[in-house]
Amino acid sequence: MHLLICRFFALVTLCLGLGGLAQAAGLSKQEFAEQRRFAANNAMFVLYHEVAHLLIDQLDLPVLGREEDVADNMASWMLLSQGTARSEQALNDAVRGWFLSGVAYNSGSAEHDYAAAYMLDKQRAYQIVCMMVGKDATTFETVANSYHLPYERRESCRWDYETVDRNLKGLLDRHNGSSRRGSSVTVTYAAAGGALRMGADAFKASGVFEQVAGDVRRSYNLSAPVRFSAKRCGEANAFYDPDTVEIIFCYELMADYMDIYADNMPVAAPDRQPRAPRKDKHSGG
Ligand SMILES: [Zn+2]
């Protein structure tokens, strides 16, 4: 199965286990903190992807190409525009997240993956790196090198980024005009117990939902009230529902990112104390 982040009406069923919630018990305090950071940052990228769907719908932004690709580029652009250490870390974690989910879900192994509305997970990862290095080749050179992004592609990434930057700024300025009235955004968390409780608690504690909601509240003039709803969905996903003008984040997705991180923890260096309870689960970094 292939992880999807999609609009509500394009919902595709996805089945997931929640094994990582149990695995978390074997992590050190630092590893647990890193796992939560990784999951929260991937959730942040996903939320900005959904914000992109929200803006495309509510501001009637033109889309010439696959909307899912546009939404990813807009999410990268929004995070790059923040220019903070936190936003850069979020992008780094999102890149790693797409690489890891591509392996976890065998992205590209089925013929229908190539007919999907989305790029393959690995392509989504590379496109985020592309936007990063396209904006600032010096700052993000290490990232581009670590994923072996070809030098000729780095050149065209600059074009990719500048095209998105110029067009988005123009479109958003046209809608915002000279005034920044802001938008009405409400945030709600549904209760979640059982196996989902840890993921739900980690998501709420991260503050990511409020952060992205606050960004929408301050940065865009949307006439319709916007709802941010976190809840159990029965699948690891996130959606934008144009009927209710609502961004829905599923706790299962947070749990899934925690799973993916726990299953791909770096192997302990020789001079480090081995993580005995989890050592047999890790075969590589
Ligand atoms: Zn989408």
- For residue 53, the CA-to-ligand 1 centroid distance in Å is 7
The answer to whether residue 5 sits within a structural domain is: no
Residue 33 in domain: yes
Candidates 219, 148, 130, 151; CA nearest to 183 is 219
Cα of 71 from ligand 1 centre, angstroms: 6
Q: Is residue 151 part of a domain?
A: yes
How many domains does the structure of the chain reveal?
1
pLDDT tier at 265 (50, 70, 90 boundaries)?
Answer: confident
**117 CA to centre of ligand 1 in angstroms:** 9
Task: Give 154-196 pLDDT, tens digit per residue.
Answer: 999 999 999 999 999 999 988 877 676 789 999 999 999 898 9
Rounded to the nearest angstrom, the gap between the alpha carbon of residue 66 and the centroid of all alpha carbons in its chain is: 18
Domain that holds residue 40: 22-263
SS3 state at 234: coil
- Note whether residue 280 is domain-resident: no
**Dist. CA 73–CA 63, nearest whole Å:** 12
Q: How far is the CA of 230 from the centre of ligand 1 (A)?
A: 17
Q: Is residue 275 part of a domain?
A: no
Q: Is residue 276 one of the residues assigned to a domain? A: no
Q: Is 175 a domain residue?
A: yes
Distance from C-alpha of 80 to C-alpha of 160, rounded to nearest angstrom: 14
Q: What is the pTM assigned to this prediction?
A: 0.86
Is the model's pLDDT at 51 over the cut of 70?
A: yes
Residue 111 in domain: yes
Going by the DSSP 8-state scheme, the letter that residue 12 receives in this structure is -
Rounded CA gap, 169 and 164, in Å? 8
Of the chain, the percentage scoring pLDDT greater than 70 comes to 83
Distance 276 CA to ligand 1 centre (A): 39
